[in-house]
Structure 1
Amino acid sequence: MARSSSGESLLTRVVRIFDAFGPEDPVLSVSEISRRAGLPQATAARLVKEMTEHGLLARGEDRRVRIGNRMWELAERASPMQLLRETALQYMGDLQSVIGHSTQLAVLDGREALFVERLSAPDAVVNITHVGGRLPLHASSSGLVLLAHAPAELREKIIAGPLPAFTAQTIVDGRQLRAELAEIHRRGFAFCQGHIRPEATGLAVGVRRGGQVVAALGLVVPNDGAAWGLHRPLQLAGLALGRALSRSGRPAPR
């Protein structure tokens, strides 16, 4: 694979260009891409041109750049994540119709929870997650469930820190985190009052396929006395989703 004078591969530079985009910045100029990706302007312009020719990026009439439709096509064509999302939407929709607010689905990706699906309501309590967004494993209910069932080596790395805080309620102490993970195993769900936003409570359960937790199904609801009582319908939905995934012969996301 071709490398730059710095020894960086072409693929690495392409990934850095994709990483320049975000939920708050879905459209960028070439100069903004150059700065965010840490690439010379000429290099960024050349790569953007080539990626646009292949449909990986697209330009508007103002010449600004966005992610191209072909990226969505490639991601959906044969991804195990598609099965998970399609199957989960039925159960997420059922929860949404009863509970309202936000229902979300996350998978473990490295040291973070990657949110792959989300349903919300117009009057829902604030929820900072979005499809394709990430949160540290220690900070959210979905992340804690995934961490509780993650390999021991990863758990120990996360427990060792650092554990950045989002609010005064976020778990930032390794001993407290270890105890919380044990509690999640005992009761079967995570319950986080004000860990991400003071006015919101997160609940999450593991979704099992073949005995292995492959995702976390979660709720974000107001931080009030009613939140605890929602764990039972959430657990039932998680069990039903797990059974549906187990009946499928297609591979689960990893």
Structure 2
Amino acid sequence: MAEKARQRPALAGVASADRALTVLSAFRKGDRSLSLAELATRTGLVKSTIMRLAVSLEEHGYLAREGDGAYRLDAEVLRLGTIYTRSFRMEAHVVPVLEELVARTGETAAFYVRRGEQRLCLFRADSPHLLRMHVRVGDALPLDNSAIAQVLRAFAPRPLPANVATLGLPIVTMGATDPHTGAMAMPVFGPNDALAGALALSAPIIRWTPEAQEAARPLLAEAATALTRRLGGEMPEWPRSAAE
């Protein structure tokens, strides 16, 4: 009994979320739409419950209602699927670059993408040091004033904003997210010059000495350029003041 207790999750799921996901999971390959009766049969939920869940799912773009009252999957499902597919393909390219950065600098390397007003840690390779910032893959952090957030904000618009020359690359910040941690970040581009994400190094401020920063800057810039090529993009020609 004690062993079973240890295996249970620390937190229980939310029943309404479980039911909503059950409705989405009822759709199968080849389904264009499903009637309320078909959804009830496949999910085991009563029709009134499905209708209430469908209102929320429609509001968030996961379901759409047809003229005959049937339901179909909507654009948000496609968006999430596209993100998943993209991240799955990217892993083979991004992770080796992160691991090489860790090997060359001894500090934590990570790859972030923007999700609304948050930055999402998509991939990460930890520093061998015990003292490091403990962010996990999948963690979403605010778009604050950190180097990573600055990159994700500044380089998403195309063409590049006029103030790109004033940013300085890599962007370096100290204590922006955590008072004891510093970070530096570079943009990485994919096809059609679209921003793929931010490649970053982070370390405790005690190790981010001016000498350590100077040594890491060219390594991070080199890695960002190499990863941009791997992802099918091209690193823009920065104005001279942005590269110095």
TM-score relative to the length of structure 1: 0.55
Aligned length: 166
Structure 2 CA distance for partners of 1:75 and 1:49, relative to 1, 3 Å: closer
| 1:42-57 map, 5 Å | 43=16
Structure 2 CA distance for partners of 1:214 and 1:50, relative to 1, 3 Å: closer
Partner of 2:129: helix, strand, or coil? coil
Residue-by-residue CA offset, 1:70-111 (whole Å, 9 max, x unaligned): xxxx96996111122221111111111111231000111111
Residue-by-residue CA offset, 1:173-212 (whole Å, 9 max, x unaligned): xxxxxx8x7632xx22210111122222101100012423
| 1:1-254 map, 5 Å | 27-30=10-13, 33=14, 43=16, 79-151=85-157, 183-184=166-167, 187-209=168-190, 210-223=192-205, 224-225=208-209, 226-229=211-214, 230-246=216-232
Residue-by-residue CA offset, 1:16-64 (whole Å, 9 max, x unaligned): xxxxxxxxxx74225xx35xxxxxxxx567668889999xxxxxxxxxx
Partner of 1:79: helix, strand, or coil? helix
Structure 2 CA distance for partners of 1:244 and 1:197, relative to 1, 3 Å: same
Q: 8 Å contact 1:125–1:199 — kept in the other structure?
A: no
Structure 2 CA distance for partners of 1:211 and 1:243, relative to 1, 3 Å: same
Q: Distance in 2 between matches of 1:49 and 1:78?
A: 20
TM-score relative to the length of structure 2: 0.57
CA shift, 1:118, in A, is 0.6
Q: Distance in 2 between matches of 1:48 and 1:239?
A: 40
CA shift, 1:141, in A, is 1.7
Q: What letter matches 2:213 in structure 1?
A: W
Structure 2 CA distance for partners of 1:246 and 1:195, relative to 1, 3 Å: same
Structure 2 CA distance for partners of 1:198 and 1:118, relative to 1, 3 Å: same
Q: 8 Å contact 1:201–1:227 — kept in the other structure?
A: no
Q: Distance in 2 between matches of 1:141 and 1:125?
A: 20
Q: Distance in 2 between matches of 1:128 and 1:238?
A: 23
Among the aligned pairs, what percent are the same residue?
Answer: 24
Residue range with higher mean Cα deviation, 221-230 or 89-98: 221-230
Q: Distance in 1 between matches of 2:89 and 2:129?
A: 29
> 5+ unaligned residues in a row in structure 2: which ranges?
1-8, 28-79, 234-244
Q: 8 Å contact 2:109–2:127 — kept in the other structure?
A: no
CA RMSD after TM alignment: 3.4
Partner of 1:191: helix, strand, or coil? strand
Task: Give 1 or 2 for the bigger CA radius of gyration.
Answer: 2
Q: Distance in 1 between matches of 2:199 and 2:82?
A: 21
Partner of 1:127: helix, strand, or coil? coil
Structure 2 CA distance for partners of 1:86 and 1:29, relative to 1, 3 Å: same
